[in-house]
Amino acid sequence: MKKILLLSVLLSFCFTTATYAQKRDKKKKKNTSEVVATPPQKKDKDAIQEYKDVVTKEAVTDSGLFQVHRVKKTYLYEIPFSVLEKDMLWVSRIAQIPSGLGGGFFNAGSKTNEEVVHWQRYQDKILLKVKSYRNVADSTKAISNSVRVNNYEPILYAFDIKAFNVDSTAVVIDVTKLFSTDVKAISGLPAYLRKQYKVKKLDPSRSFINSVKSFPLNIEVKQDFTYDASEPPSSRNSESISLQMNQSMILLPEEPMQARIADPRVGFFTVSQYDYGSDALKADEKTYIRRWKLEPKDPEAYARGELVEPVKPIVYYLDPGTPEKLQKYIKQGIEDWQKPFETAGFKNAIIAKDAPTPEEDPEFSPEDIRYSVVRYVASTTRNAVGPSVSDPRSGEIIESDIIWYHNHLRSYRNRYLLETGAANPSARTLDTPDEEIGEMMRMVIAHEVGHALGFPHNMAASYAYDVESYRDGAFTQKNGIAASIMDYARYNYIAQPGDQNIRFVRQMGPYDHYAVNWGYRWLPNAKTPEDEVSTLNKWVIEKANDPIYRFGRQSNRFDPQSQTEGIGDDPIKASTYGVKNLKYVAANLPAWTSDQTNNYLDLEELYGELLGVYSRYVGHVVTNIGGVYENIKNPDQEGIVYTHVNKSSQQASMKWLQENLFQTQDWLADKAILQNIDHAGYFERIRSLQSRYLNGLLSFDRIGRLIDAETINQEYYSAYEMLSDVRKGLWSEASRGQNVDIYRRNLQKSYLERMSFLMTDEGPTRRRGRPGLESPFVYDTNTSDIKSLIRGELTTLRSRLRTAKNGNINTITKYHYQDIIARIDALLDPK
C-alpha cells in the first residue's frame, strides 16, 4: 500500500514539473528564438589584443629607443620592458610660433617644459610618471622608503595596454591622444598666456600630430595645435592661435656623470638636492654645478699635461636661417671658448658647424635634443639668450640652444654710438662698419655660449680693473674691459676723446680660463664628488686675493663691485667720465642721425636710449650709498664677507648725485632734439628719471642697511646723515632764497610723495631667498627709526619753507612752497 502511495506522489510531481516546464517553454519560446538569432558580441575594445591586430600590415614603423608605429592616423609606441622605470628627460619646445606670442620673448626654439619622466606598468596599464630628484636618499638606507612615500610621483598620462609583441619583451600602447589633445604640461601655452589671450579650447579639427620619429636614444614628436582664442597676439580676426610644438624624450645615462660640488666663490649654474640619507642632522642640501661631460680620449697623455681631445666634444650647429655675412662671427664666438678649455687640458673641446642640408641629413631638426643649435630668430625683440637642458641627477648638460634675436644688432649699434662715440670716431654713424658689428656679435655669442656652458653672469669682473686703465690703449688691447666675458660690460665708456689705440668692445678674460679649469678639469683619482673638494678649494685659495678671479653675483643689489653695465673699480670716477662723454654725444646727436637721414626717427630712438645710458651711470653711483661689499669666503680665509662702504665714499657719492642728477641737467633738455621728436612730455622725461633714483635712495632696504651699519661702526654714514643730505640738496633754493625752476619743482614734489610713502607704508613683509643673499631684507619699520627720521625731516623742511615763502621769490615758487607746506601739514597732522 505504501509502495503504491509513493509511486502516485512521484508521478504527480513529474507531471506537474513537466506541465510547468511546457508552459514556461511556451511562454519563453519567442525570447529564446531571439537570443539564438543575435550575432556574437564584439570583444571588449579595451582588452589586450593580438599584436597582429594592433600593429597591422598597414603600419609604418620607425625603429629606435621605442618602435614607433603609425597605423593610418593612430600612433603606437612599442616600449621594451627593458626601458620601463628608466629615467628619461622630457623637453617641450616651440618649433613654430605666431608673431607676438609671449610679448616677443618666446620664439621658435623656446623651451616651455623640462622634467624627468619614466614609464611604469600597473596591471593592464602603462603610466607616464613625472619624477623629481629634489629629495633623495641612498636606496640601501631605510629612510629611502620614507622619501619615496612622501614624494609620490604625479601621473602625466595613463595608457591601456593594447598588445604585447610577439616574444613578449615589449608592450604596445596608443599615444595618439597624448599628442593630439590639450595636455597642459606639454602644450606650450602656460596659464598666464591662456588668460592673456582668452584661450577657450583646443580645436581638434585643426590640431594634429605632424610627425613622430624614433632615434637610438630619443624620440621626437611634432604637433600642430590651434586654439580658439578671443584675443590672439596676431591675426586678430581669426580668433585663433596656431603653433607647432616639439616634444623631445631622451634616455638619460644609466650611470649619471660624477657630479661636481658647487662653490659660491666660482660662478656656475647649479642643480640642488636634499639628501635625507646624509649623516648631517638634517635634510642635507647638496648643490652641483651644471656642465658638459668632457673626458679625455687619451687619459695618460692628459695626465702628462698634454692637450687632449675629449671623447665627445661640444658641438654647436648654425641655424640654416642665419644671414650669410654673420655666420663667421657666430662661429668665432663659439670657438673663442677653445682657449679656456685648453687651460683645462682639452683641445677642440667646442666646435661650430654648419647645419647639414636636407640632402646630407634629412632627419636633422634644430628641435632634436641631440643637437645644440645657435638659433637665429626673425623677431623685433632685442635680446640674446643661452639656455640649456641638464640632468638633474648630476648637473650634466645634455643640450643647449643659443637664441639670437635679429633686432639685437640694432641695440649694439646704438649703444656703440652712445657709449663710445665721444672717443671713437668710427662709432659716430648709423652705418657702423660690418667688421665692428661682427666683432660685437661675436662677443655676444661668446657670452651666451658661456651661459650654455654653465656660467652665470659674473658682475665683479668689470670691477677688477682700475678706471684709468680704460684710457690706456696697450692695457685695453690686452685685457679688454672686464676680466670675464660673462660680465655685463659691453663697451669702454671711460676712454676720452684723444685717447689712442683703445679697445672699446669686450673680450674673453682670465676669469673665463680660471672658471673653465675649475669646473671642467678632469680629476680621475676622485671617485666621489667629495673627493674633489680639497683640490677645488685649493684652486680657489690660490686666486682668492686677486680681483680678476673674483666672482660677483648679479642677484645682489647692494654691492658696488657687482653692478650690471658698470666698468672700473670706482663708480664715481667711471660715471664722471661716462657723463662727460655722453654730453658730447648729446650735443652731436642730430648731426650724426637726422642730419644724415633727413628724418627724426633715429634721433628719437637714440635720444630715448641716451636717457637709459645716463640712467645706468647714475645708478652705479647710487649703489655706493648704503652699499655693502660682498666678498664670498670660507672660514679658512682671512677677512670678513660683508663690509659697508666707507663714509667718505658715500658722502662723495651723495655730492655727485646732487650735482649730476638732482640739479637740473639742461644738456638732457636740448631743444634741438626735444622739439623735433615730440609735442609734449619734456619735463616729465627728466622728472621720471630723477624720481626713479630718488625713490631708490629713499627705500626701506637702503635706509635699513644704513641703520645696520651704525650697529657695526658709529663712524659709518648714518641714515640721519643721508636723509639730511638729500633734503638739503633737493631744497637748496629755499636756503639761498632762489626761485625754483620747473624741473626742480617736480622733483621736490616727487620727494614729498616718497617721504609720504615711507611715513605711511608698513614696508616689505616677506623675505625671498636665503638670508644674506638677497635684497631687500625685512625688518619692522614701525619699531625702527625710519618713521621718526622721516617725521623729523619733514618737520625741519616745513619750518624752512615757512620762512622761504616770504622771501624775494617769484609767484610760482611761492605757490609751490605753500602747496608743499599744506601737504606736509596734512601728512603730519591728518586731523
Range of the domain at 397: 260-667
Does a structural domain hold residue 167? Answer: yes
In the chain, the number of structural domains is 3
400 bridge partner residues: 388
Question: For residues 661 and 618, is the Cβ–Cβ distance under 8 A?
Answer: yes
676: cell is 623735433
Whether 625 and 750 map to the same domain: the answer is no
pTM summary value: 0.88
Residue ranges of the chain with pLDDT lower than 70?
1-46, 104-105, 281, 765-777
Whether 494 and 375 map to the same domain: the answer is yes
473: cell is 690703449
DSSP category for residue 346: B
Whether 474 and 367 map to the same domain: the answer is yes
Whether 247 and 264 map to the same domain: the answer is no
Whether 643 and 778 map to the same domain: the answer is no
Terminal alpha carbon distance of the chain? 124
d(CA 617, CA 623): 11
Helices (DSSP H) in 400-486: which residue ranges?
Answer: 408-420, 434-452, 473-479
User: Of 210, 232, 251, at which residue does a domain stop?
Assistant: 251
Does a structural domain hold residue 270? Answer: yes
Whether 560 and 603 map to the same domain: the answer is yes
**Length of the chain counted residue by residue:** 831
> 219 — phi, psi (to 5°)?
-125, 135
Q: Is the peptide bond preceding residue 299 cis, with omega within 30 degrees of 0?
A: no
Whether 568 and 592 map to the same domain: the answer is yes
Does a structural domain hold residue 674? Answer: no
Does a structural domain hold residue 16? Answer: no
Does a structural domain hold residue 32? Answer: no
Does a structural domain hold residue 17? Answer: no
Whether 508 and 652 map to the same domain: the answer is yes
613: cell is 645710458
Does a structural domain hold residue 39? Answer: no
User: Of 224, 251, 278, at which residue does a domain stop?
Assistant: 251
**What SS3 state is found at 71?**
strand
Q: Is the peptide bond preceding residue 256 cis, with omega within 30 degrees of 0?
A: no
Whether 331 and 471 map to the same domain: the answer is yes
d(CA 221, CA 245): 8
d(CA 249, CA 399): 12
Question: For residues 389 and 111, is the Cβ–Cβ distance under 8 A?
Answer: yes
Does a structural domain hold residue 800? Answer: yes
Report pLDDT for 440. Answer: 93
**What SS3 state is found at 588?**
helix
Whether 630 and 730 map to the same domain: the answer is no
Residue with cell 643689489: 557
Whether 388 and 529 map to the same domain: the answer is yes
131 bridge partner residues: 116
Whether 188 and 309 map to the same domain: the answer is no
Distances (CA, A) of 738 to 724, 731, 804: 20, 10, 9
